[in-house]
Amino acid sequence: MKQIVLVLALALTIARPLAATPADPIPSRAEVAYRLRLAGLLIGEGIGSFQQNGKTYSVVMESRTVGIAAFYRLHLRMEARGKVTAHGLRPMSYIETRNGDFSRSARFDWAHGKLQLTDGEKKQTQQLRPNTWDTATLACAFFFSLQHGRDQQLYMTDGRRVVQYKYSVLGREKLVTPLGELDTVHVKKIQEDGDKRGFDAWLAVDRHFLPVRAHATEANGIAFDWTVESVNFES
């Protein structure tokens, strides 16, 4: 389930070059309900929420196994906090829990260029590179910043490690969704030689480039589909 959350987050900061910036003001709050399917069968559902007041922000993303996967009883919660700057969101902290127990965390020390990661009992400090995001914050970065160029590179952490990703914008597409037919931007991961993990995501142009569908393929060939069921913005 977490793989799909990462998929959606990673797509967002590179999709905007092909579309005009929405005329609507940046939402003070956004909430999305979504569902995850494997081979057409429902296995997960969740809610993502974002809040900001022009100075600070918070993001909470929660997912649960349901349907045929309910036996595993996984409740994943990711929470991030940070600052709203003239250049967009700047993450300061990230924490992840599984079934209510602490799993991982990350603290961003931008003044000293240090990233502190905690994965269970393991702790480490790494160099904090520009364009580094936590999993939850990246999902909302598109509200504030406009990236240039079709292909982009970024760094992302989930508290366990920092991974470099590359993505490409394929263009505009019409997509039928639970929200109706939408004008979307299709984004695809750039796969290096030997990389069997892939994904595609479709972002709705008139909904602040919110991801409304994603398709992810694991290294073993198993494929997942993620779809948005409802959206609520508050200005």
What percentage of the chain reaches a pLDDT higher than 90?
48
For β-strands 75-85 and 210-217, DSSP reports them as unpaired
Quick one: pLDDT at residue 145?
A: 54
pLDDT tens column, 29-66: 989 999 999 988 999 999 999 999 999 999 999 999 99
Domain regions of the chain by residue span: 2-165
Q: Say how far apart CA 98 and CA 62 lie, in whole Å.
A: 10
Residue 20 has pLDDT above 50, yes or no: no
Mean pLDDT for 8-26 is 47
- The answer to whether the predicted template modeling score (pTM) of the entire model surpasses 0.75 is yes
Q: Say how far apart CA 135 and CA 158 lie, in whole Å.
A: 6
Residue 15 has pLDDT above 50, yes or no: no
Q: Say how far apart CA 97 and CA 204 lie, in whole Å.
A: 29
For the chain, the average pLDDT equals 84
pLDDT tens column, 103-133: 999 999 999 999 999 999 999 999 999 889 9
Mean pLDDT for 18-37 is 73
pLDDT tens column, 64-99: 999 999 988 999 999 999 999 888 899 999 999 999
Residue 14 has pLDDT above 60, yes or no: no
- Given a contact cutoff of 8 angstroms between Cβ atoms, the answer to whether 62 and 49 are in contact is no
**How sure is the predictor about 148, in pLDDT bands with cuts at 50, 70 and 90?**
very low
Residues 6+ positions from 110 with CB-CB distance below 8 Å: 90, 128
Bridge partners, 163 (sequence order): 156
Q: Which residues of 1-21 are buried (b: 16+ CB within 10 A; e: fewer)?
A: bbbbbbbbbbbbbbbbebbee
Bridge partners, 211 (sequence order): 203
Mean pLDDT for 175-204 is 86
